[in-house]
Structure 1
Amino acid sequence: MTQGNMAASDANGLLISASLAGILNEKLCPEHLQLLKTFTNALREAEYRDAVEEEAFSNVLKVLSRLLEDLQDRRSEDLQTFSLQLQMTAECFRSQRNSCVQSPRNQRLLRQLGFVDVSLKLLSYLQTMNLGSEDVIYEPLRCGIQFLGNLAVGNPMGKDEIWRLSFPDLFLQLLSFDDDKVLNYTSMVLHSCLDETKVEDLSNPQNIKLPLKVMELCRTQPDLDWTVLIATQHFLKSSSLVESMYSGMSHHERVTLLELLNAQLREEGSEGCGVPPGVARFLASSFQMGCGSVLTLATGSASSDEVLQGALTVISLLDVLCEMTSDHKQFMFLQDHPDLLVCTVELLSQVHAVGKASKNIFSATQNFSFTHDADPSSHSPVVSFKAHLIRLIGNLCHSNANNQNKVRELEGIPLVLDNCNIDSSNPFISQWAIFAVRNLLENNLQNQELVAGLERRGPADYSALRELGFLVEERDGSLLLKPVRKDT
């Protein structure tokens, strides 16, 4: 910037500052709004932004404070004046928003002058106003929240002050507002403010409504990216918060939480998901406690939506446990989680027996129509449930002799073998059964001998393996599961 330009900018800045001060002593008029717009536009330029005197910001704060008082003391029904007040409020917020862009100096100045407190009081008041048309308050609300977002960027002290003055009530109020942009901007500010300590605060009973609201928005408005980021980057990394949220959620919301967790596990790889061990333990225990509800789907006793949703939650829990025990080393301690394997084998046994006893939702089907709507199983809530039970058994037995033996003692090996048949209600069940059998037999002579004995007796259950192209072969004293050559 040349000396001439700097001088012009300084003179312009002094003129605007003096004019802003004049607003305080005059009746509000459209010229005042235009003056604020001039200031807002000037702040778009980095050179001007960096040169603004503290006095100019101080005068904007005084204007903002006057607008707050005028709105709170609104006595007349002069809609024109009221509309002007709201427009000027929005313009003040725009000026504040623009001043913080890539300017730590201005962020510090505005925070020290007291802009956060006055702005939050205005936002709190605006969102409670009962107006015939809410359109008129959308703009100041949006601009005010954007200011908070810009103030928080890279500014720890700003984040802490916004949090101190907004948490939890104002955040909760703004996240309940019926405007997508207000929701999106508020979520952005919340995401910016959160850190590990603040996330732990959310798990306290008196604060749990805020994370529950975020999770509700994840379910009802999945296009709001910031709420999903809050959940995946902050909420899922706290065992205490996950437990607190889960206990206060409806089954619908639990399914949303579990779906987000599953996506996080798949996308972030084995080391980068950030989900702590305590979450895995809690979900494993939750699966064990509620897994029996799935059986109600077979008898038709799931008459209420609540019972049905409870069963769907168990199905989602199973999906997450399968993912956690698939190539995620930090979760393999679940192999030793008390009774998780026993519960899974017993549930598979019950589901399998129920499906064989009569025609129901767990019965194997052979409908391979290419028309999606022609296949009733494609709409079943338990599609792949048996396959995933077998997958979890296979995961829990991988390179784990104790669990291999436990499945044998529970008579789970013939049960797995009996599910090697192709079943259109359980895509890939035969592949998961082969995977589980491999993990059950690996380096386990007793399990290998058991399977060989089944082969020698030639039961129908075991013939499914041969139909799929596998046989058991003795080699060097061990029994191996291997593919059958096509020419045999």
Structure 2
Amino acid sequence: MAAPRPPPGRLSGVMVPAPIQDLEALRALTALFKEQRNRNLDTIGVAVDLILLFRELRVEQESLLTAFRCGLQFLGNIASRNEDSQSIVWMHAFPELFLSCLNHPDKKIVAYSSMILFTSLNSERMKELEENLNIAIDVIEAHQKQPESEWPFLIITDHFLKSPELVKVMYAKMSNQERVTLLDLMIAKIMGDEPLSKDEIPVFLSHAELIASTFVDQCKTVLKLTSEQHAEDEEALATIRLLDVLCEMTANTDLLGYLQVFPGLLERVIELLRVIHAAGSDTMNIFSTCARMKAEGDVSHMAEGFKSHLIRLIGNLCYKNKDNQDKVNELDGIALILDSCSIDDKNPFLTQWVVLAIRNLTEDNSQNQDLIAKMEEQGLADASLLKKVGFEVEKRGDKLILKSTSDTPQL
């Protein structure tokens, strides 16, 4: 790691900007350095010193802000597609420049400093970020404040998410709002138009370990949301986003197998579904069933859809997995899933996820099929409910058979 640079010089104890005689000349110089033949590495240290001086002054004069921005553009251009320049920029700029600029109130300064960071990062320098986590977290905050800005987004998706070690230490230090932002981008990466590459699969398996272990440890924090006093609890909302990530990860065949055998995950999901189902039935709260349709423009709460996603995750974890199918049976999870199937405006697509879960639980599993058939015979499962999720019970001699109906399940 490069040694910290000394602070810019002072005159009479007062920080002053270097004289800028011709701003247009600085702009022209910035443009010239887009061409590799015009690059002069000796100017990088001076440019960094000027930029740090502008940041130290904290002035809002337009001319100084423009010079500030031009200095950053100059560094971005000189480092573009040139490894030698990137190395020199990193040596002079890290970490002070990024600590000074990534949280600046001027959007362009944040964008330009993000461009320099994106251009300069490589696998070795990522390790230095683990020792300077404030820089990485500043990037997350920059994306929160400017989601339309390209550079913070690219830093996170093209650099951070490729380093499970960095993500793990970042996650431990970030605020819950920042965690939600990071998890949202993880979901976007998994659901992107391009499937995860062979090189990305091992990385996301490491992410899956972090997400699953954190969810297993913290999932009961969502119960805080049953109290109006904690209706916007940020820790609970971050935990909900963990569930969303697990749903998308288990929809990926390359990640599914690992999560199907993750210790305690399936058991904890069933337990949580049971608790929130009971909590929603006992008192009126965010987990209670709501059969009315929301008016246009109503704002959804992050907890909406939580029950649907729990059932979706159970179904995914049981896909072609006999051990998990049997485990849900042992934990009385099948009756719980069927009992959870009702029209609920707070849980869009609940019926569809119940259908998928029951299909995955009964596929090539005669024991689970027999259980559901007996439940219907004993009045523990309503025939209309089974039909609603796409099944019916047929008696063949002394045996009850659960079969899929040809009708499309009712929504």
Q: Fold match, TM over 0.5?
A: yes
Alpha-carbon shift at residue 100 of structure 1 (Å) = 2.3
| Residues 451-462 of structure 1: pairs in structure 2 closer than 5 A | 451-460=372-381
Counterpart of 1:85 in structure 2 is 19
* 1:299 lines up with 2:227 in the alignment: yes
Residues 461/152 of structure 1: CA separation in 2 closer, same or farther (3 Å cut): farther
Residue 20 of structure 2 aligns to which amino acid in structure 1?
L
Match of residue 163, structure 1, among 72, 90, 94: 90
| Residues 334-349 of structure 1: pairs in structure 2 closer than 5 A | 334-349=259-274
Residues 216/369 of structure 1: CA separation in 2 closer, same or farther (3 Å cut): closer
Residues 212/451 of structure 1: CA separation in 2 closer, same or farther (3 Å cut): same
| Residues 32-181 of structure 1: pairs in structure 2 closer than 5 A | 72=9, 74=11, 85-88=19-22, 90-91=23-24, 93-101=26-34, 103-107=35-39, 110-111=40-41, 114-131=42-59, 133-181=60-108
* 1:286 lines up with 2:214 in the alignment: yes
Aligned residues: 396
Alpha-carbon shift at residue 460 of structure 1 (Å) = 4.5
Residue 243 of structure 1 aligns to which amino acid in structure 2?
K
Larger RCO (alpha carbons 8 Å, 6+ apart): 2
The one-character-per-residue Cα deviations of 1:4-31 (angstroms, maximum 9, x if unpaired) are: xxxxxxxxxxxxxxxxxxxxxxxxxxxx
The one-character-per-residue Cα deviations of 1:149-201 (angstroms, maximum 9, x if unpaired) are: 11111101111111111111211101122211111111111111111221222
CA distance in structure 2 between the partners assigned to 1:361 and 1:156 by the alignment: 53
Residues 180/472 of structure 1: CA separation in 2 closer, same or farther (3 Å cut): same
The one-character-per-residue Cα deviations of 1:352-393 (angstroms, maximum 9, x if unpaired) are: 1111122222111110255444xxxx5333210000000000
Residues 269/446 of structure 1: CA separation in 2 closer, same or farther (3 Å cut): farther
Give the TM-score of the pair, scaled to structure 2. 0.89
Residues 473/146 of structure 1: CA separation in 2 closer, same or farther (3 Å cut): farther
Counterpart of 1:219 in structure 2 is 144
Alpha-carbon shift at residue 470 of structure 1 (Å) = 2.8
Residue 32 of structure 2 aligns to which amino acid in structure 1?
S
Identical counterparts, % of pairs: 38
Contact 2:294 2:345 in 1 (8 A): no
The one-character-per-residue Cα deviations of 1:419-439 (angstroms, maximum 9, x if unpaired) are: 222211111101100100000
Counterpart of 1:208 in structure 2 is 133
| Residues 257-276 of structure 1: pairs in structure 2 closer than 5 A | 257-272=182-197, 274=200, 275-276=203-204
Residues 278/271 of structure 1: CA separation in 2 closer, same or farther (3 Å cut): same
What secondary structure, in the 3-state scheme, does the structure 2 residue paired with 1:322 have? Answer: helix
Residues 268/161 of structure 1: CA separation in 2 closer, same or farther (3 Å cut): farther
Contact 2:17 2:53 in 1 (8 A): no
Contact 2:376 2:382 in 1 (8 A): no
Contact 1:471 1:484 in 2 (8 A): no
Alpha-carbon shift at residue 331 of structure 1 (Å) = 4.5
CA distance in structure 2 between the partners assigned to 1:118 and 1:177 by the alignment: 21
Counterpart of 1:64 in structure 2 is none
329-338 or 389-398: which moved more? 329-338
Residue 36 of structure 2 aligns to which amino acid in structure 1?
P
Counterpart of 1:482 in structure 2 is 404
* Contiguous gaps of at least 5 residues in structure 2: 1-7
Alpha-carbon shift at residue 94 of structure 1 (Å) = 2.6
Contact 2:355 2:390 in 1 (8 A): no
The one-character-per-residue Cα deviations of 1:11-66 (angstroms, maximum 9, x if unpaired) are: xxxxxxxxxxxxxxxxxxxxxxxxxxxxxxxxxxxxxxxxxxxxxxxxxxxxxxxx
* 1:355 lines up with 2:314 in the alignment: no
Residue 134 of structure 1 aligns to which amino acid in structure 2?
Q
Counterpart of 2:365 in structure 1 is 444
Alpha-carbon shift at residue 449 of structure 1 (Å) = 1.3
CA RMSD of aligned residues (A): 2.7
90-99 or 234-243: which moved more? 90-99
* Contiguous gaps of at least 5 residues in structure 1: 1-70
CA distance in structure 1 between the partners assigned to 2:162 and 2:326 by the alignment: 34
CA distance in structure 2 between the partners assigned to 1:467 and 1:76 by the alignment: 79
Contact 1:270 1:328 in 2 (8 A): no
CA distance in structure 2 between the partners assigned to 1:328 and 1:149 by the alignment: 40
| Residues 390-409 of structure 1: pairs in structure 2 closer than 5 A | 390-409=311-330
Counterpart of 1:412 in structure 2 is 333
Give the TM-score of the pair, scaled to structure 1. 0.75
CA distance in structure 1 between the partners assigned to 2:196 and 2:13 by the alignment: 62
Residue 84 of structure 2 aligns to which amino acid in structure 1?
M
CA distance in structure 2 between the partners assigned to 1:432 and 1:413 by the alignment: 13
Contact 2:355 2:389 in 1 (8 A): no
Residue 431 of structure 1 aligns to which amino acid in structure 2?
Q
What secondary structure, in the 3-state scheme, does the structure 2 residue paired with 1:85 have? Answer: coil
| Higher Cα Rg, which structure | 1
Q: Kindly indicate which of the two structures has a greater share of residues assigned to helix.
A: 1
CA distance in structure 1 between the partners assigned to 2:247 and 2:407 by the alignment: 32
Counterpart of 1:19 in structure 2 is none
CA distance in structure 2 between the partners assigned to 1:315 and 1:406 by the alignment: 24
